[in-house]
Structure 1
């Protein structure tokens, strides 16, 4: 696209994507009155993509609720990925909704304008020419950004800021210059730039740029008050949580990173890459219910998008089995039944059955083991599953779990060693996955059973007054499920019983104290709360 193409209105190509004919007609009528005649309309994403293959559009106006196939967020994500929409394209988002999660998702896509429905002719005729003028006037900057030539973008921005005739665009140029400094990783210069800018322009984006520049320099302590202020404001809290998650991953503070990424994901749930980071951090932090929910969210939001894949539904089943092995039998049956339904659906699809046959067999074996159908699981593993690692880390991990759950620990640990060699890359995602593999290897070498199996063993030991054995089983279970307060309470119960037989040593008392502190900050139901109070009274005597 060239700058002059945005000058003549009668030469502009405009695409309207909305499943409401009335909205299409209102916008078309307003465009025709402006002299824009080359207008195409699409009622769904499929048709919009076909039109983009045939024509280069200068203006794309897209509704969020394109209900017939994929929503507007994922459509625009795909249009950008395929380069049908670039920084030089005028991109306008339409929605009748103004909810916080939708606005956050829209902001991530960086449209040039956001029109709230219902629309009328005057609104369209007033807004579009202004947006076109900005894009046309600052075209050189946007073209440089498209080419990722951030130094050249700064050069043009600074030139424009020297021109008094372009004063109404100066603030926009200041914003783009700051973003380019961050992209160039000139974090010290960026921090000073934003600090000076904030003396006269206390905008949300300037505060967020300043925060990012300081976090990248590990200067978190300097901005604690500002962080609190930004997380209290609707228009900045999402981006602040996201930056903090990124920062804590870099510092290998994965518990804090997980808390921040959960907040960010709740505020902008459609971003699949963020959901992947959420999933990786949930696994690393032993949050099995969070892991299960993250896979469900990914399968839901990725549907019909460029991220959609049968593997996302496979991961829901895998996470369901992981979760089921950490909870009591009644709840586990419910989760396993849900997993069975989804797995059966996948097995019935011919393409899945042929392309992902090995993965489906591993999951089926794990499901049998979780249901205590050991013979069936062993039959699948012995006759159909190779111990050699495949190309997918996730597939290999699931195979490790299948082997470990059947007590084949040496094979499981050997396969884990092979997976370690598969992890490559220095980015933060690779860092989290690598740490998770390391954790899995250590735990599966040291702990020989699932949390559910360990809990059952502890119950049997307790009934036979073998309190040390019961405590050992429960401590192992708690190491695998450190957020499970039922296990914490059971450990305290065993410690009380043990104290009636012998004097507790310093290690036992420290364990009790640590668990009671953790329980004070946990969400407990009424029965758990009552037990907790009783244990607190007992150990405070």
Structure 2
């Protein structure tokens, strides 16, 4: 921790700075080099691709990095920034400037997430380069003590230095930045009452996004929901605050275990800035917790897509796509399931080629192939695969064990399934980084795997047979379990109404059955249906005596 009396290293003078320019355009290198040399910078290094940039950073430590968003065909500036930061070639002491000719909101949001020191829009002008560079160097020099305290997590000392800076007329142009740092420090110190008052007072002076977000954050941390929601309504209308607000809302609702609401917020944030791998991971976790299998697939596909050629890239991402395709194929029927199976077979073939050099991947693929055999009603072959090819001595992570649990469940091997569940619980307990969302997901998985013996697809098939044989109550029970596993499946909802109509002909529906009918009706009114489905829905609702007025009045 830094203290007020600690000796703080002096900032470098402009002629001591080492600058790295990463851009695939030679003219940019010439312009920046010339402009900075005239300012007194003596060392400007150039890299025209990501590989060269990493090599230079391995050999030297740079004080300033100018990084183009479009670096090369195989790796963009977003991925390169993450890689340089991961290897600690870029630290809090490095001044990072992003360069881009594009200014669309998706790109800007992605860059904002990286929190560079500045963002320069191409084409660059010589005088602009010199002005902004001198400004950034001055910030580092004049706010050196403050930044040192922030870097070391000594937020009380940072507030002290920031308040001293506010009394210094020579740094008046940096006062907004100083005030933002004070607000950030109050949040970090968890002094939310002071933070609320501080940001509220600043609103009269500034209309900046950080002021409003800081105020909203301090209100949420105090559970002042009504006041926060009034502010949020306005923030979601502003381009400069919309993205940050969705993230803030998601974090709040996760903390309150309102995972369905949090899911909608993360989806909205991901659309505005789709490249963030951690957010897509959170989106995947929330999608599977909310049983949105299409949402799960979209999230893992985005993870694989945007991680390409980054430090996050690995066969595990493609493996998760395949696993999620199996999950979805096990919940749908007919042509849709067959189409998914064909697609995942192609992905499996590619992964199988990579598995020749990885025992862990080879083992993981045994489980996926077992589940695919179960889908294709080849359960003997599936059992044989697990028995003969699964290497139980290979270390398996949480996702591996989760997939193995599903394989045992689909084979009807209940004891093995429950044994894996126990292992998953202990794995999660020992993982300090495991999220609240994953913990809740496993709790629900455990309940459902203990109580429900079949997959969604199997339950739908069983319900169809029971309906044909005029066994309405078993068909109803099958569909209720299927709905638990796939609560967004409109075909199940329609089948439930169809069965309930037949049950209602014999005896009036119970309160529980009427609630199931109401929930199915709401789902069928919440999205698009083809004409035949809409006609059937209305026919069944009329037969059950449920109209739209009653539906809207239900909680």
Indicate the TM-score class for this superposition, using the shorter chain for normalisation: over 0.9
Give CA deviations for 1:136-178 in whole Å, capped at 9, x if unaligned. 2112222222222222222211111121222111111000111
User: Structure 2: which 5+ residue stretches go unaligned?
Assistant: 1-7, 547-555
Task: Provide Cα deviations, 1:431-480, integer angstroms capped at 9, x if missing partner.
Answer: 11111111111001111111011111111111111111111111110010
Give the equivalent residue in structure 2 for 1:493. Answer: 498
What CA deviation, in whole Å up to 9, does each residue of 1:388-439 have, x standing for no partner?
8955111110110010011112210121022112113797852111111111
Question: Distance between the aligned counterparts of 1:407 and 1:387, measured in 2?
Answer: 19
Q: State the alpha-carbon separation in 1 of the partners of residues 170 and 305 from structure 2.
A: 49
Counterpart position of 1:126: 131
2:160 to 146, 155, 160: 155
Alignment of structure 1 residues 320-399 onto 2, 5 Å: 320-349=325-354, 352-385=357-390, 390-399=395-404
Does structure 1 retain, via aligned residues, the 8 Å contact 2:504–2:544?
no
Structure 2-normalised TM-score?
0.93
Contact 1:13 1:56 in 2 (8 A): yes
Q: Which residue of 1 aligns with 2:516?
A: 511
Note if contact 2:166-2:175 (Cα within 8 Å) is conserved in structure 1. Answer: yes
Please name the residue that 1:409 is paired with.
Answer: 414
Tell me which moved more, 463-472 or 527-536: 527-536
The question of 1:57 aligning with 2:65 is answered no
For 2:90, the equivalent position in structure 1 comes to 85
> Structure 1 residues 274, 478: closer, same or farther in 2, change over 3 A?
same
* 1:230 alignment counterpart: 235
Number of aligned residues = 539
Distance 1:145 1:402 in 2: 49
Corresponding residue for residue 203 of structure 2: 198
**3-state SS of paired residue (2:427):** coil
The question of whether the paired residues in 1 share the 8 Å contact of 2:259 and 2:290 is answered with yes
Structure 1: give runs of 5+ residues left out of the alignment: none
| More off after superposition, 414-423 vs 118-127 | 118-127
Q: In 2, distance between residues paired with 1:429 and 1:101?
A: 29
Matched residues in 1 for 2:39 and 2:99: separation?
A: 19
Q: 2:156, 2:197 → 1: CA distance?
A: 17
Cα contact 1:424–1:430 (8 A) shared by 2: no
Rounded Cα–Cα distance in structure 1 between residues aligned with 2:409 and 2:131:
65
Maintained 8 Å contact 1:389/1:396: no
Quick one: distance in 2 between partners of 1:389 and 1:53? Answer: 35
Counterparts of 1:182 and 1:420 in 2: how far apart (Å)?
Answer: 34
Q: Which residue does the alignment assign to 1:45?
A: 50
1:111 and 2:119 matched: no
Matches of 1:352 and 1:226, distance apart in 2: 54
Deviation of 1:192 after TM superposition, in Å, equals 2.0
RMSD (Å), alpha carbons = 2.0
Counterpart secondary structure, 1:356: helix
- Which of 256, 276, 279 aligns to 2:281? It is 276
Asked if 2 retains the 8 angstrom alpha-carbon contact of 1:346 and 1:352, the reply is no
Residues 1:221 and 1:255: Cα distance change in structure 2 (over 3 Å) = same
CA offsets 1:114-143 (integer angstroms, 9 cap, x no match):
111122323322322222222221122222
Separation (CA, whole Å) in 2 of partners of 1:291 and 1:495: 30
Take 1:150 and 1:536, find their aligned partners in 2: how far apart are those partners? 61
Give the whole-Å Cα distance in 1 for the aligned partners of 2:507 and 2:141.
82
Instruction: Write the distance in 1 (CA, Å) between the matches of 2:531 and 2:89.
Output: 56
Per-residue CA deviation, residues 471-490 of structure 1 (Å, 9 max, x unaligned), is: 11111100100011111011
- Provide the C-alpha distance between the structure 2 equivalents of 1:399 and 1:481, rounded to a whole number of angstroms: 20
Q: Match of 2:549?
A: none
Mapping for residues 1-80 of structure 1, pairs under 5 Å: 2-5=9-12, 7-8=13-14, 10-80=15-85
